[in-house]
């Protein structure tokens, strides 16, 4: 991914054209699954018991580890589960033998917190025979969900079922291209276990702590899997994207129906931002103004203060990097070859930019206004870092926030087995000096925290220790020469390429280690144990299907409320850690329903494609802001 430049020169030609009036009716309402919106799709009203708890007569048939089960007194329809204090306490509940998960979009169950403290309960469909659910290919995290429950609270956990690409009928390939999530309930993952292989529902806790007691009821399949038929697709489905870039055949809270909705949102947000100014505890960098005064160097640095690793801002204040990736003005989808999808075709397939122009009613200086609003937003929300792939160089001195940049070393994918350190170092140095990025400017800029070099780097298959250490050493030497005041932030490893040697090398040569960590919990990440070095999370996110998109992203939440709670839980675990110095959410804007270049169409933004902030995320982020430095 690349930084997103301003494109205000296109203002005059990007003004929204009047949307044509469609004679189509929403005859396919229900082909998109919208599980918790204000207007629920018809398909979600249909459900069938995945496990009829009344027929779980022999509780010994349930598998437990560090947990206990009993039937609720007076009821054959619910179970009370007690999870012990140990890590990974769990209960496995068998599915009905005749269940066909292939016919459904999700598994759902109602969970009540019977205890006196907040709990974080996870659920996953589990295969008793298929052992391909492993961390290394990412599949371990699929068909999985999490609930955060307050004492006495009941909520519905929804576990969305992902499918193999080969399971989609051939005619669907002809009508839908470049989308991981497709109307009708199809969610594609990189690696999948066939749904017919799942045998159990596993409920568990991932980390040690107090005993948890919950009541489980109503385990069911939810949302009938119903891809649109060839006849419907040919008669009244297309176009299925409206003039604002939204899915046409469903409704949800906050859906934009007309330009006036954008104008009203702009005015409402202005009042909200005025009511929620920057925290008085922050200095201009977002550091802890009322906290300890440390040595000021004019640039960001690291320090272990009272046994805990920190970033330190240029004025010598403790700094936790709470960031969002991809803050910009664009969100592009492919139009060519898919023209029938769209009521309106914005220039370059950029619905987000088109909606921004409409929102600011064609103001010739709209780009400056958008940038200013983004700055005010982030500071008001409690975000103090514009993380990778953001338009940081477009912010004025008054608007600025600290930022990070991800540089490319020139090596794609994995380090080669014949890695030549000297040649690599020379080529990397030359590329930085060639000025093809804003590296040279950022190297002198006090607002730049530092540089990631490469993203989700893969590793050689032979001589790993020698090659990996040589790679990090070469990058370190180039950065020491060209950007001696900036932090080297590592290479953003991810869960698919965890490698202990790589972390040992980062601990040796980087100022901060980095990880793109897509999981519900940070406290369970143990890969860097024993390495006394700060760590930054370069990416993570959670998504739901109740606000207009067909795919949740890499980690699923049952609703927008749960999405915000899980987000807050994740950051709080980072704040309580002695070595994590920042968390960077991916990304600022929801992806397009029709996908980015690689097919991702995830509901993972702080704002939607119409630039409307998701209020649940904003509230959670402000709560984090108010407690951040005290935690």
Mean pLDDT of 225-242: 92
Any idea which residue has 């893969």 for tokens?
A: 458
Cis check for the bond before 412: say yes or no (omega within 30 of 0).
Answer: no
pLDDT in tens, 169-178: 999 988 999 9
For every residue of 474-508, which 3-state class applies, written as one string?
A: HHHHHHHHHCCCCEECCCCEEHHHCCHHHHHHHHH
Confidence (pLDDT) at 165: 85
Helix (H, G, I), strand (E, B) or coil at 592: coil
**pLDDT at 181 exceeding the cut of 70:** yes
Q: Give the list of residues 6+ apart from residue 249 with CB closer than 8 angstroms, or none.
A: 26, 28, 29, 31, 32, 183, 237, 240
Pick from 215, 213, 217, 216: which is nearest to 115 by CA? 213
Are the CB atoms for 600 and 587 separated by under 8 Å?
Answer: no
pLDDT band at 392 (very low <50, low <70, confident <90, very high): confident
- Counting residues of the chain whose pLDDT is more than 90, the rounded percentage is 76
Q: Cβ distance 247 to 593 under 8 Å?
A: yes
- What pLDDT sits at residue 14? 24
Instruction: Give the pLDDT band of residue 164 (cuts 50, 70, 90).
Output: confident
What span, in angstroms and rounded, lies between the C-alpha atoms of 305 and 312?
10
Which of 18-22, 28-32, 351-355, 362-366 shows the lowest per-residue confidence on average (mean pLDDT)? 18-22
pLDDT confidence of residue 45: 53
Whether the CA torsion 291, 296, 298, 300 is positive or negative: it is: negative
Q: Which residues contact 94 (CB under 8 A, 6 or more apart)?
A: 51, 56, 61, 62, 199, 200
Return the pLDDT at 436: 66
- What is the average per-residue pLDDT within 597-618? 98
pLDDT tens-digit profile of 546-555?
A: 999 999 999 9
| Half-sphere exposure in the Cβ direction for 112 (13 Å, CA) | 10
Beta bridge partners of residue 90, listed in sequence order: 65, 204
CA angle 151, 153, 159 (to 5 degrees): 120
Best CA proximity match to 160, nearest among 488, 518, 556: 556
Name the pLDDT band for 15 (thresholds 50, 70, 90): very low
β-partners of residue 145 are: 123
Q: Where are the alpha helices (DSSP H) in 350-420?
A: 351-359, 366-381
- Between CA 556 and CA 520 the distance in angstroms is 9
What is the per-residue pLDDT for 33? 41
Average pLDDT over residues 530-549: 97
What is the reported pLDDT for 394? 86
For residue 435, count other CB atoms closer than 10 A to its CB. Answer: 10
Closest CA to 340 of 236, 488, 238: 238
Q: What does each C-alpha distance from 381 to 155, 568, 616 come to in angstroms?
A: 26, 13, 11
Kindly tell me if the per-residue pLDDT of 357 is higher than 90: yes
pLDDT of residue 267: 96
pTM (two decimals): 0.93
Rg of the chain over all Cα atoms, to the nearest angstrom: 25
Of residues 493, 538, 495, 534, the one with CA closest to residue 324? 538
CATH code: domain 259-536+579-589 is: 3.20.20.80
Confidence band for 137, pLDDT divided at 50, 70 and 90: low
Q: Has residue 132 got a pLDDT over 80?
A: no
- Tell me: pLDDT of 4 over 50: no
Q: What is the mean pLDDT of the chain?
A: 89
Flag whether pLDDT at 495 surpasses 80: no
Query: How many whole angstroms separate alpha carbon 140 and alpha carbon 55?
Result: 29
Q: Which of 49-63, 293-307, 593-607 has the lowest average pLDDT?
A: 49-63
Q: Report the share of the chain in percent with pLDDT over 70.
A: 91
Higher per-residue confidence, 39 vs 96: 96
Question: pLDDT (tens digit, 9 = 90+) per residue, 333-344?
Answer: 999 999 999 999
Measure the CA–CA gap between 389 and 323, rounded to whole angstroms: 12
User: What pLDDT is recorded for position 302?
Assistant: 98
Q: Which of 24, 27, 74, 576 is nearest to 307 (CA)?
A: 576
Q: HEC profile for 101-164?
A: HHHEEEEEEEEEECCCCCEEEEEEEEECCCCCCCHHHCHHHCCEEEEEECCCCEEEEEEECCEC
Q: Which CATH superfamily is domain 42-237 in?
A: Galactose-binding lectin (2.60.120.430)
Query: Which of 75-84, 586-595, 608-617 is least confident?
Result: 75-84
Q: What is the pLDDT of residue 399?
A: 93
* Whether pLDDT at 22 is above 50: no
Rounded to 5 degrees, what are φ and ψ at 17?
-80, 150
Separation CA 605–CA 594 (nearest Å): 15
More reliable by pLDDT, 139 or 265: 265
Q: Which residue has the higher pLDDT, 135 or 84?
A: 84
Q: Which pLDDT does position 178 carry in this prediction?
A: 94
* Amino acid 389: pLDDT: 95
What are the tens digits of pLDDT across the range 416-452? 999 999 999 999 999 999 976 689 999 999 999 999 9
Can you give the residue ranges of every domain in the chain? Answer: 42-237, 259-536+579-589
């Amino acid at each position: 991914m690349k930084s997103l430049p301003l494109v205000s020169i296109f203002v005059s030609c990007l003004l929204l054209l009047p949307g044509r009036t469609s004679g189509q009716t929403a005859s396919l309402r229900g082909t998109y699954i919208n599980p918790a919106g204000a207007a629920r799709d018809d398909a979600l009203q249909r459900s069938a018991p995945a496990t009829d708890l009344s027929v779980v007569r022999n509780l010994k048939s349930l598998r437990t580890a560090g947990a206990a089960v009993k039937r609720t007194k007076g009821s054959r329809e619910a179970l009370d589960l007690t999870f012990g204090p140990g890590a990974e306490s769990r209960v496995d509940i068998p599915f009905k033998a005749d269940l066909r998960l292939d016919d459904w979009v999700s598994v759902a169950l109602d969970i009540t917190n019977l205890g006196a403290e907040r709990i974080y309960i996870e659920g996953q469909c589990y295969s008793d025979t298929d052992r391909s659910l492993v961390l290394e290919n990412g599949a371990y995290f699929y068909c999985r969900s999490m609930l955060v429950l307050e004492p006495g609270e009941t909520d519905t956990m929804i576990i969305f079922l992902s499918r193999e690409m080969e399971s989609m009928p051939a005619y669907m390939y002809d009508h839908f291209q470049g989308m991981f999530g497709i109307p009708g309930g199809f969610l594609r993952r990189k690696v999948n276990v066939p749904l017919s292989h799942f045998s159990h529902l596993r409920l568990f806790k991932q980390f040690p702590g107090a005993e948890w007691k919950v009541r489980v009821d109503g385990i069911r399949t939810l949302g009938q899997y119903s891809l649109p038929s060839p006849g419907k697709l040919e008669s009244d489905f297309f176009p299925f994207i409206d003039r604002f870039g939204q899915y046409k055949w469903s409704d949800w809270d906050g859906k934009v129906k007309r330009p006036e909705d954008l104008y009203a949102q702009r005015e409402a947000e202005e009042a909200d931002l005025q009511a929620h100014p920057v925290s008085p505890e922050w200095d201009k960098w977002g550091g802890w103004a009322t906290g300890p005064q440390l040595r000021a160097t004019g640039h960001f640095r690291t320090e272990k203060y009272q046994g805990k690793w920190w970033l330190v801002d240029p004025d010598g204040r403790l700094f936790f990097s709470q960031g969002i990736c991809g803050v910009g003005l664009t969100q592009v989808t492919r139009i060519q070859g898919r023209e029938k999808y769209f009521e309106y075709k914005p220039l370059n397939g950029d619905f987000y930019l088109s909606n921004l122009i409409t929102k600011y009613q064609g103001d010739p200086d709209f780009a400056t206004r958008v940038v200013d609003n983004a700055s005010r937003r982030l500071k008001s929300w409690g975000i103090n870092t514009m993380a990778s792939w953001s338009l940081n160089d477009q912010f004025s001195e008054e608007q600025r926030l600290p930022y990070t940049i991800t540089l490319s070393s020139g090596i794609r994918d994995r380090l080669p087995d014949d890695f030549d350190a000297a040649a690599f170092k020379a080529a990397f140095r030359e590329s930085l000096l060639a000025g093809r990025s804003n590296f040279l400017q950022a190297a002198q800029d006090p607002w730049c925290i530092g540089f990631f070099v490469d993203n989700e780097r893969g590793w050689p298959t032979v001589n790993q220790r020698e090659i990996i250490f040589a790679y990090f050493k070469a990058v370190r030497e180039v950065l020491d020469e060209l950007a001696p005041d900036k932090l080297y932030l590592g290479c953003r490893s991810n869960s698919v390429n965890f490698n202990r040697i790589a972390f040992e090398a980062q601990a040796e040569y980087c100022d901060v280690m980095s990880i793109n960590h897509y999981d519900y919990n940070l406290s369970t990440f143990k890969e860097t144990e024993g390495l006394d070095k700060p760590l930054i999370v370069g990416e993570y996110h959670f998504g739901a299907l109740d606000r207009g998109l067909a795919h949740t992203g890499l980690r699923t939440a049952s609703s927008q409320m749960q999405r915000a709670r899980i987000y807050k839980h994740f950051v709080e675990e980072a704040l309580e850690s002695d070595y994590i110095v920042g968390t960077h959410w991916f990304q600022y804007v929801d992806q397009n329903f029709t996908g980015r270049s690689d097919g991702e169409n995830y509901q993972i933004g702080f704002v939607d494609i119409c630039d409307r902030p998701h209020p649940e995320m904003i509230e959670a982020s402000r709560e984090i802001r108010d407690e951040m430095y005290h935690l």
